[in-house]
Amino acid sequence: MKRLYNFILSLSCLLFLAGGVLYAQTAPPASATGHIFAEIIPMFTATETAQLNFGKFAPGPQGGEIILSPASTISILGGVYRGAGTPNAASFYISGDIDAAYTITLPASPVVLTHISNAKTMKIENWMSIPAPGPGTGKLQDGFEVVYVGATLKVGSLTDNPVGIYTGTYTITFDFY
């Protein structure tokens, strides 16, 4: 009986130890929480806040040029006589992500202005801006900037460009990166 008792005791110890080993091999799974981050930034926008306005003038016998700088200063070449009124450079409000750099692309070919009552035209060329056009010349400090645009208006004689209002549109591209 003593042997049977020792055998049962040995067997119980062996099962107890084997159970502990088995239990140690099947530990419960561990888990952790991961975090995700995404940020939506403001859309980049460009809005015209002032129109390009060469003001009032009268062409002379040979015509000439009106040069309107991005700082709204005017120079007249040839036979063009300045009238009353205040010409001004165009301005564009650019907004988007803080410190975003951008490139300004001005019209490469002349833009045509057309008389509102007939087919007579004038051309605008030699576009300029502040900041200057080119790769990475603009930067949105505090998320915005104002860009000023000027150009040169080619004026013909009074026969070529009769009295009246001339209008047109142009496109400036702001490429953000």
Q: Are 124 and 151 a contacting pair, CB within 8 Å?
A: yes
User: From residue 7, how far is each of 1, 4, 16 by CA, in Å?
Assistant: 10, 5, 14
20, burial (CB in 10 Å: exposed 0-12, middle 13-18, buried 19+): exposed
Q: Are 101 and 133 a contacting pair, CB within 8 Å?
A: no
pTM of the model: 0.77
What number of other Cβ atoms are within 10 A of residue 153's Cβ?
A: 25
pLDDT at 93: 97
> What's the CA gap between 153 and 114, in Å, rounded?
12
DSSP annotation of 168 reads -
Task: Count the alpha carbons within 13 Å of 37 in the hemisphere toward its beta carbon.
Answer: 0
pLDDT at 26: 78
| Annotated domain spans of the chain | 46-176
pLDDT in tens, the chain (177 residues): 566 555 565 656 555 555 554 455 678 899 999 999 998 876 899 999 999 999 999 999 999 999 999 999 999 999 999 998 899 999 999 999 888 999 999 999 999 999 999 999 999 999 999 999 988 899 999 999 999 999 999 999 999 999 999 999 999 999 988
pLDDT at 85: 85
pLDDT at 174: 94
Q: Are 175 and 102 a contacting pair, CB within 8 Å?
A: yes
